[in-house]
């Protein structure tokens, strides 16, 4: 599994609860740009429309060698999941008021996949706790060295 794009803020801003691996509909120039490691998931989120999942604000910059056949960098991308997985996600999202966020984009068996999470947004004090734990862990690691 080769990770192409990562969302570093996902663990900081959300309590990650349940993950799903989804396929994604891309154009050729988008695949080429992603294989070069270009792309950003920082502001990306998943929304539901007509019982289908779509990924919005996943920006992939234009591929330099594509010429006039290049893609729009802010295009909405469709996510591919089984019907029962989509129903599960929609039900949990509505019942528990969860967000669906992407955490990473990767290659698996020659196909590009997106790892999405059902997540609950953290409050400000939760974020502070996360920072405190991280600093304590760093200090302990520094003492052992």
Determine contact, residues 69/32, Cβ cutoff 8 Å: no
**Full-model pTM:** 0.79
Q: Give the CATH number of the domain where residue 42 resides.
A: 2.40.280.10
Domain span at 50: 2-144
The number of domains in the chain is: 1
Backbone angles phi, psi at 50, to 5 degrees: 55, 45
Mean pLDDT (10-residue bins), the chain, 145 residues: 84 87 89 86 90 91 76 84 93 89 91 92 79 88 84
């Amino acid at each position: 599994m080769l990770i192409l794009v990562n969302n570093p803020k996902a663990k900081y801003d959300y309590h990650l609860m349940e993950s799903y691996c989804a396929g994604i509909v891309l154009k050729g120039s988008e695949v080429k740009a992603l294989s070069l490691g270009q792309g950003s998931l920082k502001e990306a989120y998943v929304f539901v429309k007509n019982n289908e999942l779509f990924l919005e604000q996943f920006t992939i910059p234009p591929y330099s060698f594509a010429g006039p056949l290049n893609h729009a960098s802010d295009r909405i991308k469709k996510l591919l999941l089984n019907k029962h997985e989509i129903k599960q996600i929609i039900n949990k999202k509505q019942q528990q008021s969860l967000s669906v966020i992407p955490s990473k984009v990767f290659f698996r068996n020659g196909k590009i996949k997106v790892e999405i999470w059902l997540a609950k947004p953290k409050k400000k004090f939760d974020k502070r706790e996360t920072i405190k734990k991280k600093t304590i862990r760093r200090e302990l690691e520094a003492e052992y060295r």
